[in-house]
Amino acid sequence: MRPLFEELSRFDGSGLYAIYCIAEGTGLYDPLILLDIPVYVGKSHSHSSATGRPANTSHPLWARVGQHRQSISEAHNLRLEQFGVRLLRTPDVHCDLGENGLRVGYQPAWNSELTGFGSNEQGSSTRRSARSRWDTVHPGRRRSFGAEPHDPDDLRTRVRRHVAQQVANCHLLPWRNHKIGPTPAVS
């Protein structure tokens, strides 16, 4: 896992990524630190799924993680030092299935309870749209506009419940290896 505060060297390609809380201080996500449960998962494509045309950049995965670094750094109640990222370069054909598997398996808080973290910047015609749930709980992004239709205290309560459920159900994840120590010999 790479700390999110460290600038990644530019690399080409598309793929999957997961953002984790790795240091205490967020309050909401601290219980996830030792469990390797991401707070957000996403993907980037090297080609448009609608047209098949190449993306505007040869390094979409690197650029997407950079956008997320910016969002977290602008939030008033989060610090980049509290987060880490895992990246998997993969062809576009595997991105959608992989992201869906990560979202369904982990149900990350920023994908389910605090939607809006991964949305792209609003254009001038949509700047009057309602503020996202993520921006309501983690205000500060320069690009977040609009009214605040969500109750921040209610959202924080929902996130705490969600994270508690993730912790309680962590042992049910099919890819978790709970056995620590040497693998038993097969006879």
Three-state DSSP class for 166? helix
At 115-169, the pLDDT tens digits run 999 876 555 455 556 789 999 999 998 766 677 788 999 999 999 999 999 999 9
User: What residue ranges do the domains of the chain occupy?
Assistant: 2-172
Q: How far apart are CA 128 and CA 44, in angstroms?
A: 27
Number of neighbours of residue 25 by Cβ within 10 angstroms: 12
pTM score, whole prediction: 0.86
Residue 46 pLDDT: 78
Q: Provide the 10 A C-beta neighbour count for residue 184.
A: 7
Of 25, 14, 26, residue with least CA distance to 134: 26
Question: Residues 18-77: pLDDT tens digits?
Answer: 999 999 998 999 999 999 899 999 999 876 565 566 667 778 899 999 999 999 999 999
Q: Could you give the CA distance from residue 104 to residue 157 in angstroms, rounded to a whole number? A: 22
89, containing H or E segment: strand 83-89
